[in-house]
Amino acid sequence: MADINPLLPVSSSDGSSNLTGQATCRRPIKVVVSIFFGLLTVGLFAALLIRNNGPVDYVDVHENERGSLASTAFEKAENLKPVSRGPAAGVSEKSNWAFGGDLPDYPWNNSMLSWQRTAFHFQPEKNWMNDPNGPLFYKGWYHFFYQYNPNAPVWGDIVWGHAVSKDLIHWLHLPLAMVADQWYDKNGVWTGSATILHDGKIVMLYTGSTTEGVQVQNLAYPADQNDPLLVHWVKYPRNPVLVPPPGIGPNDFRDPTTAWLTSEGKWRITIGSKINKTGIALVYDTKDFINYEMLDGLLHAVPGTGMWECVDFFPVSETENNGLETSINGHGIKHVVKASLDDDRHDYYAIGTYNDRNGTWIPDRPNIDVGIGLRYDYGIYYAAKTFYDQNKKRRVLWGWIGESDSEAADVKKGWASVQSIPRTILFDKKTGTHLLQWPVEEIDSLRLKSKEFNQVRIQAGSVVPLDIDSATQLDIIAEFKIDSDALDKATGSSDASFDCVTSGGAAERGALGPFGLLVLADERLSEQTPVYFYMTKGSDGNLKTFFCNDQSRSSKASDVDKHIYGSLVPVLRGENLSIRILVDHSIIESFGQGGRTVITSRVYPTKAIHGAAKVFLFNNATELNVTASLKTWQMNSAFIQPYPNL
């Protein structure tokens, strides 16, 4: 309580000496002293309150899905139980298994690690890659740039890598397009986008991290617009062209988009940022990509979503089956806003309406707004970016697929990250709420020997091996028919709270699921990655279908991600359940219902590799028999290599 400071004796003694020995003031003395101490007490309480009044929100570190091992017991090897790689709260311990006395013999050997490298997904020859940058089609070539660390298989020292292709599949590596050689990008040549101008010229806007670590936007363009390979790039001598505006933090301003034309004939771009915890998209207009005016309003903002990285903005046709050039607007057109959320490292999109006059956009369905609704991909997929392919009149989507193993393994194998197979994006006319993604058709050119399986009956609780040869480079298209009787008979239940992520994976048996495929599985099923449907029937009789990818038993290794990914997938009356899976060594891309719900995962088996990898159909439901028809193709390598004789 009151601690009268000895350094200030005068006040109290003054006070008391003044108070004592004056008969006329004796009665008021008590009053005065009590007022004094009363005020003191009040003051001290105020001091205490102010001290303790910062909001002490306990940030639930269990939410950190990337392996904050906060509450997991630090298990000793004696217990022979590998520690869950995920948060103890979010992932049930059922998703790990006890080795039961059998120690994993997996410390990564060269055979396991070298197998992991993909055959037909884009990746540099070695080291680290992340975001796709500036994709475009120009003079007969598809160009792809990417965030690259030339020195190590971990993020850092970021520069722009570059590759070209005639068909989005067979890539040829070119020299680095841009390196960190200016003060305004010394700490990183970060993500950016290309715009093709009226006269066919290309401009590139990208984020630089300056020597002081401030995020700014810079302009660059090809050194020689006549070079179809666009090998050399020039930075505008008076960069940066944009710096963080007032009210925006120096670390919250990055990833400028491709520009689109306004009705006034200016070019417009958007850049993601945040204000407190609200994710926002800033808007700028420009005529020359050098001078900009920032619009007063924001393109859009969603509270609680945090920093918006890699914002993308583009039109989709509600009626046509082709992509739209970025500036198109008008009837029968919706606009998509997409953001990569730094906080949870997922890519979200929402469909809505763009107002050209004031540069704003509103979602069709605010309850599934950007950052709180639909994702491009429910697995490991981030920093996605689209471009308009004027060659084939389609909108094509690139996405960065990181690793979900330990960095020690990445260092050992010498590389980290791949890109997804480019996907076309279309508005899903049937649901009106989703986008459809599908691997570009050029990937079909990799198909080799095929095998067809018709009407394979999978009884409840069974596994059916598929006799195909190799199973590490595959394209699988499968359709599942279900007994409608069984669906009607099934009792609606509290299953209705099902969610792939918190479920027990493919081992958790329900009345109407799970059923699907097991890929990268060995003969004994000691390792397996199920890709499957799980149906639930609510007490109101309504059926819901989930599409999931279960990594919990994908590998005996304990230092890889074991989460279960997935989400609800809309299934319309009369539709069969369909899956397409691309298996390419350590990456699995799965497309449910024609690409309405997509899941990409990275798996690192120790046994189900090379010739030991197999594919199975499975049905782990209790009350449902399923009939599957599918076609599988062996996939050729894309022979991605350096551009010859450059």
Partner 1 sequence: MKILIVIIFAFLVCQANAFRPILLLGNQNLIERTCKQTPFYDLCIWSLKSNPESRDASVKKLAQIMVDSLKTKATETLDLIDELLQDGLALDPEMQKALTSCAERYNVIIRGDVPEINEALKTGDYKFAAKGANDAAIEANSCEIEFPTKSPLTDMNKVVHDVSVVAASIVKIIQTKFSF
Nearer to partner 1, 126 or 447 (CB): 126
Euclidean distance between CA atoms 215 and 417, whole angstroms: 24
What is the nearest approach in angstroms of partner 1 to the Cβ of residue 12? 6
Nearer to partner 1, 370 or 630 (CB): 370
Residue 79's Cβ-count burial label (10 Å; 0-12, 13-18, 19+) is exposed
Nearest residue to 549 (alpha-carbon basis) of 584, 592, 510, 586: 592
Q: Which of 14, 60, 102, 131 is catalytic?
A: 131
Taking a C-beta distance cutoff of 8 angstroms, is the pair 269, 182 a contact?
A: no
Question: Sign of the CA dihedral 362, 363, 369, 371?
Answer: negative
| Secondary structure letter of residue 15 according to DSSP | H
Phi, psi of 468 (to 5 degrees): -120, 165
Nearer to partner 1, 2 or 572 (CB): 2
Nearest residue to 354 (alpha-carbon basis) of 300, 302, 308, 426: 300
What is the nearest approach in angstroms of partner 1 to the Cβ of residue 565? 18
Euclidean distance between CA atoms 368 and 360, whole angstroms: 17
Euclidean distance between CA atoms 189 and 131, whole angstroms: 11
Taking a C-beta distance cutoff of 8 angstroms, is the pair 219, 204 a contact?
A: yes
CA-based Rg of the chain, rounded to a whole angstrom?
30
Nearer to partner 1, 5 or 226 (CB): 5
Please report, as a single letter, which amino acid is at residue 482. I
Euclidean distance between CA atoms 376 and 596, whole angstroms: 9
What is the nearest approach in angstroms of partner 1 to the Cβ of residue 85? 7
Nearer to partner 1, 96 or 619 (CB): 96
Euclidean distance between CA atoms 61 and 67, whole angstroms: 10
Nearer to partner 1, 68 or 493 (CB): 68
What is the nearest approach in angstroms of partner 1 to the Cβ of residue 16? 10
Nearer to partner 1, 18 or 390 (CB): 18
What is the nearest approach in angstroms of partner 1 to the Cβ of residue 333? 33
What is the nearest approach in angstroms of partner 1 to the Cβ of residue 457? 43
Euclidean distance between CA atoms 313 and 259, whole angstroms: 9
Active site residue 57: no
Q: Is 637 helix (H, G, I), strand (E, B) or coil?
A: coil
What is the nearest approach in angstroms of partner 1 to the Cβ of residue 501? 18
Phi, psi of 83 (to 5 degrees): -75, 140
Q: Which residues are catalytic?
A: 131
